[in-house]
Amino acid sequence: MSVTDPIADMLTRIRNATMVQHRQVVMPTSKMREAIARILKDEGFVENYDVVPAKPQSVLRISLKYAKTKRSESVITGLKRVSKPGRRVYSSQSDLPWVRSGLGVAIVSTPKGVMTAQQARSQHVGGEVLCYVW
């Protein structure tokens, strides 16, 4: 099955898995999806991720993270796709967005690789705003 927007597909799979409190979510892998998963792990939104070799395509497995409360709520409360195939959103270094007053993360694709908006500001680069996570 062909997916026209693999990043939106990834975010939707994560959103659906957290709504039913699954421990893991599995999807086909790509370099972009792996970079987004790395950022989610570094920022503490997911426990871990790994690439499982399989035929015909490798699989990205993400272990979701939940708060240790009575209701076991997900650490990820929201995901939003910003730049879409039909409407690309680019931002300069000075105009990179803040998500939920710094409580969330904007993931940006820059000439230096995929990184958070905070990292892009410190490296003085702009790029395509892929998504928001909070």
Write down the mean pLDDT value for the chain.
96
Q: Is the peptide bond before 56 cis (omega within 30 degrees of 0)?
A: yes
Is pLDDT of 32 > 70?
Answer: yes
Phi-psi region for residue 10, left (φ > 0), alpha (ψ -120 to 50) or beta? alpha
Residue 107 β-bridge partners: 116, 131
Q: 3-class SS at 20?
A: coil
Is 27 within 8 Å of 60 (Cβ atoms)? yes
**Can you tell me the distance from the alpha carbon of 33 to that of 107, in angstroms, rounded to the nearest whole number?**
12
Sorted by where each begins, the domain ranges of the chain are 6-133
| pLDDT tens, residue by residue, 69-114 | 877 899 999 999 999 999 999 999 999 999 999 999 999 999 999 9
pTM higher than the cut 0.85? yes
Is 25 within 8 Å of 14 (Cβ atoms)? yes
For 24-40, b where at least 16 C-beta lie within 10 A, e where not — what string? ebebbbeeebebbbebb
Is 97 within 8 Å of 128 (Cβ atoms)? no
Rg (CA), the chain: 15
Is pLDDT of 65 > 70?
Answer: yes
Q: Which fold has domain 6-133?
A: Dna Ligase; domain 1 (3.30.1490)
